[in-house]
Amino acid sequence: MSKAVHTFTLFILGFLMVLLFFVRCDFGQKNELVPAEPIAKAYDGMAFAGSESCKSCHKTIYENHVNTPHYQTSHKVYKDSMYGDFTDKNTLKLNDSIHFIMTAEDVLYQSGFKDGTLIQKEPFDVVIGSGTKGQTFLYWKDSKLYQLPVSYLVGKDKWIHSPGYANDRIHFNRAVVPNCLECHATYAKNHLPMDFNSNSYIKNEIIWGVDCESCHGPALKHVNAHRLDPELKKAKQISNIASLTRQQQLDACAKCHSGLRKPLNMPFTFRTGDKLSSFRAPNYRPLDTTSIDVHGNQYGLLTASECFKKSEALNCTTCHNTHKNERRAIAQFSEKCISCHNAIESHTTKLNDQMKTNCIDCHMPSLTTSAITFNGLDSIKIRTHKIGIYEDISKQINQFLEQ
C-alpha cells in the first residue's frame, strides 16, 4: 500500500471516529438522567422543586395553573405587574397634612409626605394579591419585610390607604409576619421559625404564589423519582389528594379559606392530609352564619349550607378545579348544582333560559364584606358560600331578567 493511501485511510478513520464521538455525545446527553436541585428546604428537611420542574411531565396543568389567582397571588414586583398609575393619578391625599406619591424612577417608589416634607420613601418590592380585587405591596429593609401604607383597589382604579391603617399618621412600620405569607405564598423560611411575630426571612428560600407544592407538599423526591426512572407510570413519593377523606380534603383548602384563626403550630408546617384543628384553633362549632364575614371564609359558609350538611360528598373540589382559572364560569358552576338538583321542580316560578344556566347569582350572591373597609368609603364584594334562598336578591335579578 502506498504511503499516501495509508495516510488517507488513517485520516478517514480518524474523521469517522471524531464524528462517532460527537454523535455519541449527543445521544449521551439526551439520555443523561439528571436529578433536579432543591429551590428551598422546609423546616422538616423536605425539599421543594418549584413548579417549573413539574412542567416537563404535567404540561397542561402547569400551563393552566400559571393563569390562576393562586399562582399570581404574590410575586416580586416587575413593571407590568402593576395596575396603579405612576404618572398622572399617582397621588393619594389622606387629609390637608398627609399625602403619598407613587413614582417610577430606577425602581418604583412610594413616598409619604407630612405638611410638604418627605417623611419616608421605600421601594415597591413585592406584590400581594392577584389583582382580581386589589394589590398590597411590601418592601425589604435588609432581611425584614414590611407592608407599604398605600394599596391599590382594582375595581375603583385608585390608590387607597391600606386596609386597617389609621389616617392620622404615616406608617411604614407594619411587619409582615409569617401568618400573612402562609396564605399568600407557598413557603417563606424565617430566621426565627418558632416566633409568630418575626418578619425576618431568608430571601432565597421564599416561594411566591400559591404554587403546586402549596397543596401537594414539597415534591423534589417525586420529581427525581420520575426524572431518574422515566419508565415509571405510577406516581411515586407524592400523595393522592382525591383519595383522602372529605374532612382532609376540606382542611387542605380551609388552611387558607376559613378566615383568621389562632395559630397553634409553626407556620408552613401544615401538609395536605394533616388535621387542621391541630394547626389552627378550631372553628368547627355550628356557625352562626350571620356573623361570619364573607371575606376568606368559604369553608365556614359552605359547611353551614344545607347542600353540605345533607350530602355526603360535597366539598370544594366538587365545584372547583383549582388547576384552572374558572373566574365567571357561571354556566359551568351551575351544571354542578343541576347535577344534584332538579331546577324545574325546585321553583314555584318559571325559570327562563338565562336563569337555568345561572343558579349562582340568586343562590350564592356577591355580598359586601365588612372585614376589608377602606375608611368606610369603598367596599369589596365577595361571593358568599352560604348556598341558600336570598328572596330580595332573587326578586331584583328576576325583574332584571324579565325585562
Sole binder of ligand HEC in the list 158, 227, 271, 324 (CB under 6 A): 227
Handedness of CA 275, 276, 279, 280 (dihedral sign): negative
d(CA 139, CA 205): 17
Amino acid making up residue 203: K
Which positions from 157 through 216 interact with ligand HEC, judged by CB under 6 A?
179-180, 183-184, 210, 212-216
Pick out residues in 86-115 that bind ligand HEC (CB under 6 A): none
Contacting ligand HEC within 289-308 (CB under 6 A): 295-296, 298-299, 302, 306-307
Total residues at interface with ligand HEC (CB under 6 A): 104
Q: Is 344 a residue that touches ligand HEC (CB under 6 A)?
A: no
Which segment (23-31, 117-125, 197-205, 322-330) binds ligand HEC by CB under 6 A?
322-330
Give every CB contact of residue 322 below 8 A, 6+ residues apart in sequence: 68, 70, 215, 316
Residue 54 found at the interface with ligand HEC (CB under 6 A): yes
Return the HEC string of 250-292.
HHHHHHHHCCCCCECCCCCCCCCCCCHHHCECCCCCCCCCCCC
- Sign of CA pseudo-dihedral 148, 150, 155, 157: negative
Smallest separation, CB 282 to ligand HEC (Å): 14
- Report yes or no: 185 and 210 within 8 Å, Cβ to Cβ: yes
C-alpha grid cell for residue 203?
430571601
Q: Which of residues 3-42 bind ligand HEC (CB under 6 A)?
A: none
CB-nearer residue toward ligand HEC: 161 or 363? 363
- By C-alpha distance, which of 394, 366, 370 is closest to 382? 366
* Residue type at position 113: F
Q: What is residue 317's three-state secondary structure? A: helix
| 76-84, 93-101, 193-201, 248-256 -> range binding ligand HEC (CB under 6 A) | 248-256
Give min distance, CB of 11 to ligand HEC, in A: 44
Residue 123 binds to ligand HEC (criterion: CB under 6 A) = no
Binding residue (CB under 6 A) for ligand HEC from 112, 134, 267, 365: 134
Q: Which residue number, 60 or 117, has a Cβ lying nearer to ligand HEC?
A: 60
343 near ligand HEC (CB under 6 A): yes
Grid cell 324545574 in the structure block, residue: 344
Q: Does 255 bind ligand HEC (CB under 6 A)?
A: yes
